[in-house]
Structure 1
Amino acid sequence: MNAPPTLRQRRKQARPQELLDAALTLFVERGFAATRAEEVAKRAGVSKGTLYLYYPSKEELFKAVVRHNLSATILEGMEIAAAFEGSTADLLALVLRTWWERVGVGPSGGIVKIMMAEAGNFPELAQFYAEEVIMPAQQLLGSVIQRGVQRGEFRPVPVADTVHVLCSPLLFLSLQQQSFGACGVYTPQLVPESVLNTQIDLMLRGLMSDHGPGRPSP
């Protein structure tokens, strides 16, 4: 019979998550360039040397943060899409709302702001982000659009352009949350959840085939 893990063993197992949480908080607060590895280690309650045992550079730490907070959400969306048996309208709404709940309203959305602001200064990280986040997200949404077209639920549309139209309002809302929203500045007539619902309603009405099965749920 295996002995239960000791407190020290449990702390060691939890340490990568603690480091990722500390790194996400500091990256969002200060940006990538201004965040120092020793600050992340201090926030997580470990030494800088311990941090480097898990993540050998700040760049690798940032990549791990991206994979944990964004790549995992995209993978979840792919799994939802693969198993979904309902209408494509309901699937598309579910994918968009899941992204908003996992990323848009939480600290993970700050990663989007970081990349928009600092990509030009860190082209290697920008390439990583494109391959790890942007392209898989576009593939996910593109596959949902193609599903609807193939099933006769959506009218034929240019898939790549439609994906950009879907993504742009979400990116705007996320950036707003991480900028004006983060410092409490009031922006009149902007309630993110209401804007998201309106976007979904407009997009689905624009996509729906006149003779296709299934209509968007209220």
Structure 2
Amino acid sequence: MAPPALPSPTTDDTPPVRQRRTRRKEARPGELLEAALSLFVEKGFAATRVEEVAARAGVSKGTLFLYFPSKEELFKAVVRETIAGRFAEWNEEFERFEGDSVELVRYCMNSWWERIGQTQASGITKLVMSEAGMFPEIAAFYQQEVIRPGHDLIRRILQRGIDRGEFRALHLDYAVYSLIAPMIFLLMWKHSMSACTPSSAPIDPLSFIDTQVDLLLRGMLVRPTPSTRP
């Protein structure tokens, strides 16, 4: 008689391996986005290779392409996750804000620095500014997902102040840039200009923002009507 067949040595091992792979697979998108953000900020869009992103995340290039079919789509996902996705919460906070518009402007600029400026995502703006000419699709995407919603939100804040009689009438298209410009300066200082700044003259971002808000608001507050001399 032939001896009884022994169980396959791989039968009992298969389920645990499959379970481990499932858990790992679920964790991968976030790890890939984190790795991609780091590399995009360090090297730029053109110089970053998907192989590097996959290796830093600890997965294969094939696994990366399961989630993101191209480097462009990976970049878009990074922007949505770290910047564009913030606008929903900012708009909700705008609707709930009960203070005056002076404090809303101050809150807006400080909140932007805390949630974007002091994080690694702040390097994305420099990347887009540097490489927009080479990658018009990326520039168009950034304009649609970040610049336009940002402009719209700032316009609503300024219009709120005008409607409430707290700000004088402004050319809103240009007034928006007055609030954006200090933020752009901080980003460029953080990622490029700080290396050229003397160590004896460091820039504290929160103090810089506070000073800019003070300068801007003194130009936006309603001007008192001059008294008529007899």
Q: TM-score, normalised by structure 2?
A: 0.84
Partner residue, 2:203: 190
Distance 1:184 1:65 in 2: 29
Partner residue, 1:120: 133
8 Å contact kept, 1:37–1:58: yes
User: Which one of the candidate residues 116, 129, 134 is aligned to 2:147?
Assistant: 134
8 Å contact kept, 2:105–2:157: yes
Partner residue, 2:191: 178
* CA offsets 1:9-33 (integer angstroms, 9 cap, x no match): 4432221111100000000000000
**RMSD of equivalent CA atoms:** 1.7
Distance 2:63 2:145 in 1: 26
Distance 2:30 2:198 in 1: 34
Partner residue, 2:94: 81
Q: TM-score, normalised by structure 1?
A: 0.88
1:110 is the counterpart of 2:110: no
How many residue pairs end up in the alignment? 205
1:13 is the counterpart of 2:26: yes
User: Which one of the candidate residues 26, 39, 53 is aligned to 1:26?
Assistant: 39
Q: 1:48 to 1:90 in 2, by over 3 A?
A: same
Unaligned runs of 5+ in 1: 1-5, 212-218
8 Å contact kept, 1:19–1:44: yes
Distance 1:145 1:66 in 2: 26
1:200 is the counterpart of 2:213: yes
Unaligned runs of 5+ in 2: 1-18, 225-230
Residue 83 of structure 1: how far off its partner (Å): 1.4
Question: Greater CA deviation, 68-77 or 160-169?
Answer: 68-77
1:39 is the counterpart of 2:52: yes
Distance 2:58 2:32 in 1: 9
Task: Among all aligned residue pairs of Structure 1 and Structure 2, give the percentage whose two residues are the same amino acid.
Answer: 50
